[in-house]
Amino acid sequence: MIQGADKSRKSVKISVRLQAKASREGLRVWDEGGVLRVHVKEAPVDGTANAALVRLVAKHLGISRGAISIIHGATGRNKILKVEGLSARQIKNRLYLQ
């Protein structure tokens, strides 16, 4: 689910389900609940899977890694990312997956 967090700062929250130790990396699909499913090759050890998540989402959005932060779920599969500098509409357009 994409939620506008702060219109003055242009930040948005994205719900993510992370699959670590996947055979291939990529943004997979938006599921029925509006959660973005992301697969990374890294294991969930010492934050490497989280770093890979941030790197991959930043790459697909065309923004710096510093503009993305994990605000909830740092140690679990279900996470909420805060993305700064883009509107909800821009994120949906850039992450449009079929």
Tokens standing for 72? Answer: 């909830």
Q: Which of 41, 36, 39 is nearest to 16 (CA)?
A: 36
86 or 2: which carries more pLDDT confidence?
86
CATH of the domain at 43: 3.30.1200.10
- The pLDDT of residue 93: 86
Residue 98: the pLDDT is 39
Distance of CA 67 to the CA centre of its chain: 11
**Enclosing domain of residue 62:** 2-94
Give the contacts of 61 (CB within 8 A, at least 6 positions apart): 68, 83, 86, 91, 94, 95
pLDDT tens digits, one per residue of 33-67:
889 999 999 999 999 999 999 999 999 999 999 99
pLDDT value for 31: 75
Of the two residues 37 and 8, the one the predictor is more confident about is 37
Q: pLDDT category, 6, cuts 50, 70, 90? A: low
Residue 7 has pLDDT above 80, yes or no: no
Over the stretch 9-28, which tens digit does the pLDDT of each residue have? Answer: 688 999 999 999 999 999 87
> What's the structural domain count of the chain?
1
